Amino acid sequence: MADFFRFENIHYQLGSPGRHINVSASLAEGGVLLIKGPSGAGKTTLLRILARLQECDSGQVYFEGRNWFSMPAQLWRSRINYNSQKPAIFSGSVLDNLRKPFGLKIKKEEFNLTEAEKGLQALLLSQDILGQEARTLSGGEAARIALLRSILSNPDILLLDEPTASLDEKSGNAASDYLINWVRQKPGRGIVMVSHKQDLKELIGTKVLDIGFHPEEVN
Amino acid sequence: MDSGVIPISNFQLGLSVVLVLIAGLISAALKLELLKSLVWGTIRTFVQLTLIGYALTFIFTVNNLAFIIMIVTVMCLVASGTASKRTPNAGRYPLLLGFVSLWVSTFLVGTIVVVLIISPQPWYSARIVIPIFGMILGNSMNGIALSLDRLFSEVKSTILEIEALLSFGATPWEAVRDCVKEALRAGMTPTINSLMVVGLVSLPGMMTGQILGGADPQQAVRYQIVVMLMIAAAVAIGCLLLILISYKKLFTREDAISPNIFTVTNSKR
């Protein structure tokens, strides 16, 4: 039975402690997989491996039944989008930043301004922010713009690294609602997320993967 | 009107040592501890230039095409060696790529200048080829060193943006395009600046040399214009070539940013 998104025995090592990680999990359509674990447990590394930004020692990932290596890296990443914890902001206006993915060869769709404006509203940002120089955004604003940019780029799966870490409670909740809304709005979507917060945990369909420190895995 | 070179006799050449003595006295008086390197530098200048004088005389007499190509190739090799040493950010960068881009740009531009513009008889006249190719090399060497260094430092400092672009499905070229622009700009800026100020701030060495050698200033100026433009072209081509053949080294076979770009520099220095 082919899962929507599944990774099997992803094996990798973490820098200096020489810690070995070996994880497997799967994600159903419309589902959220929450990755938990203490700082330095390798949560970010796992997301980067899933985005093929980093290589693991061994393991397989399947997306809609297809092995990850059967797809070119560019196509894989455009469908399974990784959003880093520290938001990547380009020089130019906020609008330029939101348009950025649509300037790439791989993107066939056009940028949709109406969608962008709806997203800003849902994330409690004013429409005026579009004209602002993006490098002058606050940390919380930049994080939400980066999140919105990822969603507008229309991936199938979002890999999110602490998307609400730099947000206050109110905008953090708005972001969570927006994400849940997004994942359920259409079939063929899913979220893999690293978060210390518990906010999404209670939601139906949220699975938790704990990659905390396991003594038996230390060499 | 005077024309032709006024010869410098051995005695007159010896007099120029007086100039070093002045520098040496200043150094000794102020305890700059430069005396040793000053003396050593003076000896090397005498020896190296005397030898190259004989070598050039020999090369000009032989004037064999294969021999000239070989000499220019060796010059390219030395220049790429120097360029790769000057790029701390580029890390363990293979000499080969620098050599290939210098060689191609130098031969392309140099041949156009010698064959089409100056057209001596025979077209590969060493008296023309060696100085022209030497000037191109000296300048493109600095250009490619600057641009390669800038490419790597830009990629390191904008890694977050590059990885974000990759995450949206960008190709490696799309992801580093802004860095490439900056790198080319860095490599070409000194050349473009020199095009702006030439004749206003300084008289170029080649032109001055020709004038001292008794050439008509009008002709010297024409040569200088050709030289400036050929240097600009060679630097542009050299930088672009080098970046085109080396940016892929920043990426893994999975088209992700290679983790090596962060470790190489530290392990080398």
Contact B252 A104 (CB under 8 A): no
Nearest alpha-carbon partner for B252 in A107, A100, A48: A48
Contact residues, chain B, for A55 at CB < 8 Å = 252, 254, 256
Residue of A nearest to B161 (CA): A88
Residue of B nearest to A56 (CA): B254
Angstrom distance (rounded) from CA B247 to CA B155 = 10
A→B interface, C-beta within 8 Å = 51-55, 73-75, 77-79, 81-84, 86, 88-90, 100-101, 104-107, 146, 153
Is ipTM > 0.95 here?
no
Nearest alpha-carbon partner for B137 in B114, B104, B115: B104
Distance of CA B248 to the CA centre of its chain: 24
Query: What percent of chain A shows pLDDT beyond 90?
Result: 72
Contact A53 B256 (CB under 8 A): yes
Sheet holding A206-210, edge to edge: A80-83, A157-161, A190-194, A32-36, A206-210
Residue B113, pLDDT above cutoff 90: yes
Strand partners, A27: A5
Given a contact cutoff of 8 angstroms between Cβ atoms, the answer to whether B221 and B72 are in contact is: no
Mean pLDDT taken over chain A:
89
Alpha-carbon distance values, A75 to A37, A79, B176, B257 (Å): 30, 6, 18, 16
Q: Find the CB nearest B254 among A73, A75, A84.
A: A73
Alpha helices by DSSP H, listed for B117-259, are 126-157, 159-167, 172-197, 205-212, 217-246
What confidence score (pLDDT) does residue B1 get? 47
Mean pLDDT of B112-117: 93
| Nearest-CA distance A61 → chain B (Å) | 15
Given a contact cutoff of 8 angstroms between Cβ atoms, the answer to whether B129 and B114 are in contact is: yes
Extract the tokens encoding B80. 């790429």
**Terminal CA-CA length for chain A:** 34
Q: pLDDT per residue over A107-162, tens digit each? A: 999 999 999 999 999 999 999 999 999 999 999 999 999 999 999 999 999 999 99
Extract the tokens encoding A176. 């969570």
| Nearest-CA distance A209 → chain B (Å) | 23
| Nearest-CA distance B13 → chain A (Å) | 59
Lowest mean pLDDT among A103-112, B88-97, B251-260: B88-97
Query: What percent of chain A shows pLDDT beyond 70?
Result: 90
Mean pLDDT of A179-184: 92
Q: How confident is the model at residue B93 (pLDDT cuts 50, 70, 90)?
A: low
Largest CA distance in chain A: 54
Long-range contacts of A112-120 (CB under 8 A, 24+ apart): A112/A152, A115/A152, A116/A148, A116/A152, A119/A148, A119/A151, A119/A152, A119/A178, A120/A148
Contact A88 B171 (CB under 8 A): no
| Nearest-CA distance A12 → chain B (Å) | 15
Mean pLDDT of B235-243: 94
pTM: 0.84
What confidence score (pLDDT) does residue A217 get? 44
Sign (positive or negative) of CA dihedral A197, A201, A203, A209? positive
Q: pLDDT per residue over A28-72, tens digit each? A: 999 899 998 888 888 999 999 999 999 999 999 999 999 999 999
DSSP A204: T
Residue B249, pLDDT above cutoff 60: yes
What confidence score (pLDDT) does residue B91 get? 57
Angstrom distance (rounded) from CA A168 to CA A146 = 16
Alpha-carbon distance values, B186 to A144, B30, B71, B219 (Å): 34, 38, 29, 32
Q: Find the CB nearest B170 among A52, A55, A104.
A: A104
String of b and e for A79-99 (b: at least 16 CB within 10 Å)? Answer: bbbbbbbebbbbeebbbebbb
Residue of B nearest to A107 (CA): B169
Extract the tokens encoding B120. 């001596």
Q: pLDDT per residue over B129-159, tens digit each? A: 999 999 999 889 989 989 988 998 999 999 9
| Nearest-CA distance B170 → chain A (Å) | 6
What confidence score (pLDDT) does residue A100 get? 96
Extract the tokens encoding B3. 């024309």
Q: Which of A71, A76, A104, A106 is the mutation pick for testing B, counting most B CBs within 10 A?
A: A104
Contact residues, chain A, for B263 at CB < 8 Å = none
What confidence score (pLDDT) does residue B133 get? 93
| Nearest-CA distance A149 → chain B (Å) | 10
Q: How confident is the model at residue B90 (pLDDT cuts 50, 70, 90)?
A: low
Angstrom distance (rounded) from CA A146 to CA A151 = 9
Mean pLDDT of B196-214: 86
Residue B28, pLDDT above cutoff 80: yes
What confidence score (pLDDT) does residue A124 get? 96
Nearest alpha-carbon partner for A146 in A167, A173, A169, A170: A167
Q: Find the CB nearest B169 among A84, A90, A104.
A: A104
Q: Count of A–B CB contacts within 8 Å?
A: 64
Residue B46, pLDDT above cutoff 90: yes
